[in-house]
């Protein structure tokens, strides 16, 4: 799995729930939502475009921040 980090313009719990919903629909994703910093870190075999399209389904502004090196 690649670890990808995205910026998603989340302002509240509702926003992070929306992100959780769309990622669950994608299936098999392991992810961490950092609400204060508006970041979503996703472990995925999907490509970046797919993940970005999925995050944009929340209606929030989303962008790709880059690959996160596995710690």
Percent of the chain with pLDDT strictly greater than 70: 97
Does residue 1 or residue 36 have the better pLDDT? 36
For residue 33, count other CB atoms closer than 10 A to its CB: 18
Q: Residue 40: pLDDT above 60?
A: yes
Q: Residue 19 has what DSSP assignment?
A: H
13: buried, middle or exposed (CB in 10 Å: 19+, 13-18, 0-12)?
Answer: exposed
- Mean pLDDT across the stretch 29-44? 95
What is the pTM (predicted TM-score) of this model? Answer: 0.91
- Could you report the per-residue pLDDT of 21-36, keeping only the tens digit for each? 999 999 878 999 999 9
Q: What is the CATH number of domain 2-68?
A: 3.30.70.100
Domain-wise residue ranges, the chain: 2-68
pLDDT of residue 39: 97
């Amino acid at each position: 799995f690649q670890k990808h980090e995205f910026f998603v313009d989340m302002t509240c719990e509702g926003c992070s729930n929306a992100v959780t919903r769309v990622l669950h629909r994608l299936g098999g994703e392991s992810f961490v939502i950092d609400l204060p910093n508006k970041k979503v870190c996703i472990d995925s075999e999907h490509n970046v475009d797919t993940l970005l399209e999925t995050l944009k389904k929340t209606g929030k502004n989303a962008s790709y921040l880059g690959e996160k090196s596995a710690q």
